[in-house]
Amino acid sequence: MGASMRIIIGTVLIVVTLLIAPLSQALDGPTGIVEAGKAAWADRRCRRCHGEMGEGGFGPDLAGRAISYNQFKQALRKPWGIMPRYSETYTSDQTIADLQAYLATLPRVEAPGPDLIDIKNILATSTWSASPPVQDAPLGQQFFWSYGCMHCHGPEGTTIRQDLGGEKADNDFQDFAKMIYSHTDRYKSPRMGDFSRLRLPEIALQEIYHFLFEQAGYLPQLAATVRAGTPAGENTLYTLELENRGLAGKGLTPENLTIAMAIAPGAKVINGAGPGYQGIRDDSELKSQAAIWQIASIAPKEKQTFSLTIAGSAVKPADIFKGSIIRWTRPEIRKTIPDLNLRDPQNPSNVPQLVVAFR
């Protein structure tokens, strides 16, 4: 057989192999839909551990891997490692096939991506990133990273501390353990699966609980939003709504609050209104002038409204008030660990704060 014939036959075999591989994967399970898989990938936040494009990071790279449907299904239904289990209730066999189909379209990587922590899951516009906690970090924070929790909930578990601080700030460890090991029973969502008691043993979970709630502490469930301006003669009225979304009688009540609305250079404040208005002054933390209100507290289910009238026609609130924050003194942001090195960038100082959102 001539060399040219051998080349032709070899090429044909390669092509046939490439065609047969995806066909064999499709035959052992449902036919996946790429766009549905892309949506499922985003909805379950798989990218937080496996990389935006499946390139890997905290978890292994998945992009372009030639594995069968049954292999992929096994990895979600009965994970070999620390990944939580995704049951059929919220992640069907069809969804698994869709995820596999989407991942097959992504370019395979030569090496997994870096393991970096960010808070884009919490604040989409954030550009902050950091390496995993070092060995002198609290043990619970090290476990919080090593079991993957940090990649969705941030370096200090801010979202968890707010959720539980808003509904019952005296949760004991058994309440917390039930939430982690039977997560889908509580939240009825595909976003996070159920952790295994064998892969995440209670002794490690106890350290995580100690770090989140005994060292760092529960946080109030606050929301602050500035809405689009409305005309007020030749000027524009902007309204800030501050809400405590905690459950009445159960959630935390923050005390000694300061509302600091940053004022962009060139913006002229005509007047301010709302309880505790202090006027306009320089704010050292914002490094700009700010409209200031001070209130004693805001209880669960309570809403308070504050307003500013700005000279001229309406512009986007973010163009005037970008960087605005709400501060309070109690409860503390870090009860017994004021020198924590790896911190949530939304709370860099020891004074707890909330970044104001815009609509």
Residues 228 and 310 in one domain: yes
Residue 340 lies in a domain: no
The answer to whether residues 100 and 175 belong to one domain is no
Q: According to the model, what pLDDT value does residue 24 have?
A: 41
Same domain? For 208 and 230 the reply is: no
Q: Is residue 262 part of a domain?
A: yes
Whether residues 249 and 323 share a domain: the answer is yes
Decide if 151 is inside a domain: yes
Same domain? For 270 and 324 the reply is yes
Which residues, including other chains, have CB under 8 Å from residue 151's CB and lie 6 or more apart?
Answer: 48, 49, 57, 58, 117, 121
What is the DSSP code string of 158-191? HHHHHHHHHH-TT--HHHHHHHHHTHHHHH--SS
Task: Judge whether 38 lies within some domain.
Answer: yes
CA 16, 20, 22, 23 torsion-angle sign: positive
Single out the residue in 216, 245, 262 at which a domain terminates.
216
Residues 86 and 47 grouped into a single domain: yes
For 49, 111, 150, 153, 341, the CA distances from 55, given in Å and listed in that order, are: 10, 8, 19, 21, 28
The whole-number pLDDT of residue 4 equals 52
Number of domains in the chain: 3
For residue 338, the model assigns a pLDDT of 84
Residue 355 within a domain: no
pLDDT beneath 70: ranges in the chain: 1-27
The answer as to whether 47 is a domain residue is yes
Distance CA 8, CA 259 (A): 74
Q: Output the average pLDDT for the chain.
A: 91
CATH of the domain at 8: 1.10.760
Kindly write down the DSSP assignment for every residue of 109-142, as one continuous string: -SSPPP--EE-TTT-TT---EEPPP-TTS-HHHH
Domain end, chosen from 167, 182, 216, is at 216
Write out the DSSP string of 66-103: ---HHHHHHHHHS-SSSSPB--TTTS-HHHHHHHHHHH
Is there a domain that residue 347 lies in?
Answer: no
What's the confidence (pLDDT) of residue 184? Answer: 92
Question: Quick check: is 191 in a domain?
Answer: yes
What is the 3-class SS of 139-159, one letter each residue? HHHHHHHHCCCHHHHCCCCHH
State which residues form the domain around 251: 222-330
For residues 278 and 239, give the distance between their C-alpha atoms in angstroms, rounded to a whole number.
16
pTM of the predicted structure, to 2 decimals: 0.86
Taking every pair of Cα atoms in the chain, the longest distance, rounded to a whole number of angstroms, is 93
CB 224 within 8 A of CB 211: no
Residue 291 phi, psi dihedral angles, 5° rounding: -85, 130
- Among 178, 201, 216, which residue terminates a domain? 216
235 plus 196 within the same structural domain: no
Q: Is 137 left (phi over 0), alpha (psi -120 to 50) or beta?
A: beta
| CA–CA separation, 197 and 351 (whole Å) | 36
Contact status, residue 216 vs residue 164, Cβ threshold 8 Å = no
Contact predicate 317/238, CB 8 Å: yes
Q: Let me know whether 258 and 315 are in one domain.
A: yes
pLDDT tens sequence across 228-244: 999 999 999 999 999 99
Residues 199, 171 within the same domain: yes
